[in-house]
Structure 1
Amino acid sequence: MNYFVEGLQGSGKSTLVRCLSEKYPDYKDICEGDYSPVELAWCAYVNRETYSEILEKYDAIRDEIKEKSFEEDDHMIICYTRILTDIPGFHKDLEKYEIYNGNLEQEAFKEIILRRLRNWNGDKNIFECSIFQNIVEDMILFQKASDQQIVDFYKDVRDALSGKEYRIMYLQSDDISSNIDIIRKERSDDKGNEMWFPLMMGYFDNSPYAKEKGVSGYESLINHFAHRQELEIRICEEVFDGMYTLLKSKEYRL
């Protein structure tokens, strides 16, 4: 069995991953930024030529890059956010090689996701936000896909996962605003300066979706999260019937 732990930001995914890891110590937990056979968040996805150029450009940390790189078909995956360096612009430079944030055309984006899911044959994994969050965010905010288009894509995801043992553990948030306020405080530096929230607001406010709709600011972000949660639960019900468990955020018992 494999577990996909899903839910909005602040819903308690990391806590649930930890609980499952403690309950099943022989399972491997895979979080954002780690190398994952099913997800590419916070990782650069490049062809071999581009990989060689990156190694040459950042020769001073070549060994560190190689250590956090993984070969997959004709591409290399670099877990660049796991590389600690004070080289100016390194992380920003590699960010443009992610498959998210509108960096790829819609068909290329879908092809990469579906191919990796088909090729994956692992077992005893606990994946944190690896099947919904980043994919759905990109499809809404950057591809401006309709709800039905996203649901239809997840039918292809289900087909790509055919024959594999997995269960989706979805954490439903009843008070999205309060959960966001909590992680705003948690993800601040020791002086109380918010680190995560300004980036999240910029990500949302500057997205093609927000600009087209003429929306911005905190309330619009919360409305977006509410819509995303409703859509993801709809996908569970319509596409993954019998393969998911709906849990109340921070109110469940395993």
Structure 2
Amino acid sequence: MTSIDASKRNENKQYGKTANLFWTWKDGGKSGVDKRCNKVNYFIEGLQGAGKSTFVQKLSEALKDYKVFWEGDYSPVELAWCAYVTEDQYTDILNSYSEIQADIKGKTFAEEDHRIICYTQILTDIPGFHKELEKYEIYNGNYERETFEEVVFERFRNWNGEGQIFECSIFQNIIENQILYLMMSDEEIIGFYRRLKNVLVNKPYKIIYLDMEDIADGIRIIRKERSDEKGNEFWFPLMLSYLEESPYGKAHALAGEEGLLMHLEHRKSLEHRIIEEIFRENTITLKAKNYSSFWNDL
């Protein structure tokens, strides 16, 4: 990896004090002049098990005046675990689930001609509710490639925030959908991110990438962490089902832990390429779960 590494933090002076957090960012080379922004946005990325949620929590505690967007939250850029519906679809959903209409409205946000429903935050015993609203996500192959890309680009284009922290909002969910459901090649995905980089010109951001060296060990740990008190796993079976039932998983006969590791190795290699070829100057790469010195410098 030749992206900015933690070992170079002092040389590059990338980490200011939390009370005066100023980062230098380039405007895409259009003016040739570096610009300053008071509060740069952070995208926290890495494979499953890299410790993204823990890192986001610690970063938010260090940068108390920053706004955090977790997976499933209403976010200006990310739509994971959210239904993206038209006004007519929204009306149909309210009519179909009239008994929890108030709960749905309380977790719904209007954006121009669409409504965004944070449906996984709605607690209900109604059979099939969450499965039904999952059909309205932009992921899992629910949208054709062109429409999916249009939605992603439009949201990043309209986003002008600062002082924000995002959990896996620029790589993980987008790339998983592109590989597993849209069946895009690595070169096609690289091309997508080149266009996204152009959309992000003049927007102040850094990607903090938590690089997991031993993926198998990381998966072993996360399997234990995401089990109940009796040792029953709830994350791993869902992850395997997601992989095995996807068009890519079926086409490549990916199954079980071995299939998952093959997929994650591929994704890791691709994400390294995206960082190296496109986002190198915008990325800080840290070893997953081994970044204590980052907090010392911050």
TM, length-normalised to structure 2:
0.84
User: In structure 1, how many angstroms separate the alpha carbons of the residues matched to 2:170 and 2:112?
Assistant: 21
- Residue of structure 2 in register with 1:222 after alignment: 261
- Residue of structure 2 in register with 1:52 after alignment: 91
Shift in Å, 1:237 = 1.1
Match of 2:63 among 10, 14, 24: 24
Partner-residue secondary structure (3-state), 2:79: coil
Shift in Å, 1:214 = 2.4
Q: Does residue 151 of structure 1 match 2:190?
A: yes
Q: Which moved more, 1:109-118 or 1:180-189?
A: 180-189
- Per-residue deviation, residues 119-143 of structure 1 (Å, max 9, x unmatched): 0111111000000001000101111
Q: Does residue 248 of structure 1 match 2:248?
A: no
Shift in Å, 1:104 = 0.7
Shift in Å, 1:215 = 2.6
- Residue of structure 1 in register with 2:47 after alignment: 8
Query: RMSD across aligned C-alpha pairs, in angstroms?
Result: 0.8
Match of 1:136 among 146, 156, 175: 175
Question: Aligned residue pairs: how many?
Answer: 254
Shift in Å, 1:184 = 1.0
Partner-residue secondary structure (3-state), 1:250: coil
Task: List runs of 5+ in structure 1 lacking aligned partners.
Answer: none
User: In structure 2, how many angstroms separate the alpha carbons of the residues matched to 1:141 and 1:174?
Assistant: 23
User: In structure 1, how many angstroms separate the alpha carbons of the residues matched to 2:103 and 2:121?
Assistant: 9
- Per-residue deviation, residues 31-61 of structure 1 (Å, max 9, x unmatched): 1000011100000000000001101111111
User: In structure 2, how many angstroms separate the alpha carbons of the residues matched to 1:220 and 1:214?
Assistant: 8
- Write the letter of the residue equivalent to 1:29: V
- Write the letter of the residue equivalent to 1:104: Y
Quick check: 2:243–2:254 contact (8 Å CA) kept in 1? no
| % identical equivalent positions | 58
- Residue of structure 2 in register with 1:191 after alignment: 230
- Per-residue deviation, residues 4-45 of structure 1 (Å, max 9, x unmatched): 000000101011101211111000111100001110000000
- Residue of structure 2 in register with 1:179 after alignment: 218
Partner-residue secondary structure (3-state), 1:150: helix
Task: List runs of 5+ in structure 2 lacking aligned partners.
Answer: 1-39
- Write the letter of the residue equivalent to 1:23: A
After the TM superposition, which segments of 4 or more aligned residues of structure 1 sit over 3 Å from their partners?
none
- Residue of structure 2 in register with 1:237 after alignment: 276
